[in-house]
Amino acid sequence: MAQMPDPVKWSYTAKKIADKTYEVHITAAVQNTWHLYSQNQPADAINQPTEILFKKNPLITLKGAVKEVGKMQLFRDEKLKISANQFAGKVDFIQIVKLKSNSKTSVVGSVEYQTCDDKKCLPPKKIDFSVALN
């Protein structure tokens, strides 16, 4: 059975930015010629946007939406009349979380995403992650 290529390598880190407050970084390193879709897509997009889901944890509160840091590209296919917001190279998805008390816990969730190159798109993929907050 042939293995599906995976042109994205994910890494997960937490950075303390204030008392009981952390930035959780979910970082995608995308291979050359491939791209990953933004969480926010135009109305005419047909590809799977990146979706980051967090499991409920009574010890933390999520602050705001997941921010994207990277070079966004607008793709437009005039023949098919579709467009997409996408990233190449590297994109950092950042969620601010606040601990309700001084305790050790983890931020747990999943990333669902799709990658494409000039010739093909791979099926959407879902991966789980866990980031310790110390």
- Flag whether 68 is in a domain: yes
Residue 10 near residue 26, CB atoms below 8 Å: yes
Q: Report the number of distinct structural domains present in the chain.
A: 1
How many whole angstroms separate alpha carbon 25 and alpha carbon 12?
6
- Flag whether 132 is in a domain: no
Q: What is the CATH number of the domain that holds 55?
A: 2.60.40
CA distances to 11, 23, 47, 110 from 107, in Å: 14, 11, 27, 10
| Residue range(s) defining the domain that contains residue 32 | 8-121
Mean of pLDDT values over 68-89: 90
- Flag whether 66 is in a domain: yes
pLDDT for 4: 64
Q: What is the pLDDT of residues 67-76, one digit of tens each?
A: 999 999 998 8
